[in-house]
Structure 1
Amino acid sequence: MTALFLKEVARNPWTAGLFLLPPLLALGFQGRGEGVGLVGLYSGLSLLLPPLVLALAVPLLASREEWAFLLGFPVRPFLAFLQGVLGVLLGLAPPLLLGLLLGAGLLGFSWEAGLWLLLSGMGLLLFWLGLAALLSALLLEERRALALGFGLFCLLNVLYGPLAVALAVRLRDYPLEGLLTLALLLNPQEIHRVGLLLGLKAPVLTGPVGYLVAERLGTVGPLLGLGYLVLFGLLLTLLAATLFARRDR
């Protein structure tokens, strides 16, 4: 099962976009310092990588007809879905890692900054692949899963900052600040970004969301932020496999 999904991802020409994306982004941060380059690359990846991951993963994981055929083999649905997600991951990870290495080389990163770039890129990939898996398992319809996925991308990566600040202002005079903490925890990408900024002491403003993260969650180091991002993605994947195994296909 894993090999089948890996082969399908490798055959898709758009998979090469994961290799090209990091070095193209790196060209915009040459000569701006290691910390600025690292955080800038991560921020750029968080805006451009998710749509590509959704477009490559959802059509494979949300195909009701393909799953109906594959589950004719003697394999448990839970394990079959996990193997499918693993195959997609193994197909997407190598070009992304190679692209991140090339981007780090173009910016002249030290080994430490290069390692953080690789880990951060993989964390983003795991998070959005987990989200793609969950939407696919819930809907088992490519168009609806893609539409909802792009909607969540706009919410988490485009509108999240203004909405979080607006929520903080609205709840300032009410004993409902737990909602703000929950809203911050639901976007591990931003928590990791703030952790990178604080841990590397990069000369870049954290922004209003960074201030809210520090105020509500305390000091978040890059390792803690990365661990939370990866754990969130893995939990989404396990939840997706559980829902897939229990639903009527």
Structure 2
Amino acid sequence: MSTRTAVVTGASSGIGAACARQLAHAGYRVVLLARRRDRVEALAGELPQAEARVVDVTDREAVDAFAASLDRCDVLVNNAGGAFGQDTVAGGDPADWRWMYEVNVLGTLHVTQALLPALEASGDGTVVVLSSTAALGTYEGGGGYAAAKHGAHALAATLRLEIVDRPVRVIEIAPGMVRTEEFSLNRFGGDQERADRVYQGVPAPLTADDVADTVTWAVTRPSHVNVDLLVVRPRVQASNYKVHREG
């Protein structure tokens, strides 16, 4: 296992950082991709067999250069993504929608395309797409994010059909409500009070480690086992809009 390499995008915080930690502890050499040099290098320094690369997944030239420099790739975890704003469809800013599409869909496309030859050459490759329950349903104020995550879901499902004859699995993990240090804060432009209201009264939302544990479990199944789509939510969340809150 020590020679097997896992690439994790968006690895500087949240779910990406948690995935990097758990895959490293599972024995993988982990390559961490992110835009923030200080954070991704600090995390790589904590882990065995880890290295940091500063790459913006929306920059195709940078992604291609990274892929060309990599000696092998056995697992790709497409985690880079995010939400911005919670406006209605009628009042939404097209620039926010464009940003979400470029990061969640085109970023995943760039890295997957660039690394697919190496994944196939490994003889036992795995592509993981971190989507969301927003990829499978909608909710008021979530049109732009849901559209982007629906795109990521379609990408994963289509790729699985197109490479079924190759030694590469395509796994989609769709988390529900996850509380991380940055997701909602970024969504609301740094408004901490508004970000905190998302989780107000929710006794136990998922954590980044919960999702990373799910990713690591799926990746480490026997190579003939493909977890096509796994939805993971906290017990208190029944749907995108049905959440039990205390108080």
TM-score (norm 2): 0.34
Structure holding more helix per residue: 1
Flag the structure with larger Rg: 1
Structure holding more strand per residue: 2
TM-score (norm 1): 0.34
**Structure of greater relative contact order (alpha carbons < 8 Å, 6+ residues apart):** 1
